[in-house]
Amino acid sequence: MSGHSKWSTIKRKKGAADAKRGKIFTKIIKEITLAARLGGGDPDGNARLRTAILAAKDENMPKDNIERAIKKGVGEIGGASSFEETTYEGYGPGGVALLVEVLTDNKNRTVAEIRHILSKHGGNLGENGCVAWMFDKKGSLLVNKSDIDEDALMELALEAGADDVREEEHEFEVITSPGAFETVRRAIEQRGIKLLSASIGMIPQNTVQLEAARAEQMIKLMEKLEDNDDVQNVYANFDIPDEIMEKLS
């Protein structure tokens, strides 16, 4: 399982999403605001904004919060946001490749904080381009195995334009191009299947398997990075054997 889907599974099992709902709202609001600022406030003509709004709805964010973030982004209310987006690259325990996407109003502060988190948890910051080539931008949709059999999901997903369906221990991961993401998502949901998670992000081309000690260190690193207010997304190419993951979860 890719670091992306593995990490989604770990977070669900740990209940991290519920415990940090306020922090999740803050990150999504920042993304909505920036998407509206860059591409306009109409989601029909702004794919990035559409995706951000879907993420907000997945987290049950109130409609007023979404609308306020869009208005702030297009400058209709209170000063337009001053934050910038950037991506930092580096390595985690065992040589795991890391991409850290941030939205910040102070790059010097943010890079210092990320460097500190990495060094404290067995990682280090790298040069631009050192690991980005190991990832492809893709849509990822996780479906519980108990909700549909593999053949039916494969037929449904591929017909809707998906690239692949991967079998994991408890889930199927549907992989799409960014352009096909919404169509595939809609097709799955219209079948009455609840998605465990759905996002467009960076999927690793290959993975690094971690033994128990480094796996635990890697999970702590991911948690600390995501806990940073400026960090929007963290992508990594680690793999953890299921028996180790069960203990850590």
> Over the stretch 101-149, which tens digit does the pLDDT of each residue have?
999 989 999 999 999 999 999 999 999 999 999 999 999 999 999 999 9
d(CA 127, CA 51): 29
pLDDT at 196: 87
Domain count along the chain: 3
pLDDT at 13: 62
Pair (52, 162) in one structural domain: no
Pair (27, 118) in one structural domain: no
What share of the chain in percent tops pLDDT 70?
Answer: 90
d(CA 38, CA 70): 11
Pair (44, 61) in one structural domain: yes
Instruction: Tell me phi and psi for residue 195, to 5 degrees.
Output: -85, 135
Pair (51, 41) in one structural domain: yes
Pair (93, 213) in one structural domain: yes
Cβ–Cβ < 8 Å for 87, 99: yes
248 domain-assigned: no
Give the list of residues 6+ apart from residue 72 with CB closer than 8 angstroms, or none. Answer: 33, 36, 78, 80, 81
CA distances from 184 to 32, 114, 151, 156 (A): 22, 35, 16, 8
What share of the chain in percent tops pLDDT 90?
Answer: 65
Tens-place pLDDT, residues 206-244? 999 999 899 999 999 999 999 998 999 999 999 888 788
30 domain-assigned: yes
Pair (210, 129) in one structural domain: yes
Strand partners, 199: 140
Pair (49, 111) in one structural domain: no
* Higher-pLDDT residue of 77, 236: 236
Q: Judge whether residue 3 has pLDDT over 60.
A: no
Pair (140, 122) in one structural domain: no
Specify the DSSP element, H or E, that contains 53.
Answer: helix 47-58
The amino acid occupying position 182 is: E
Query: Of the candidates 94, 100, 85, 175, which has an alpha carbon nearest to the alpha carbon of residue 130?
Result: 100
Q: Which domain holds residue 166?
A: 134-204
pLDDT at 21: 65
Pair (35, 63) in one structural domain: yes
68 domain-assigned: yes
Pair (114, 235) in one structural domain: yes
Rounded to the nearest integer, the mean pLDDT of the chain is 88
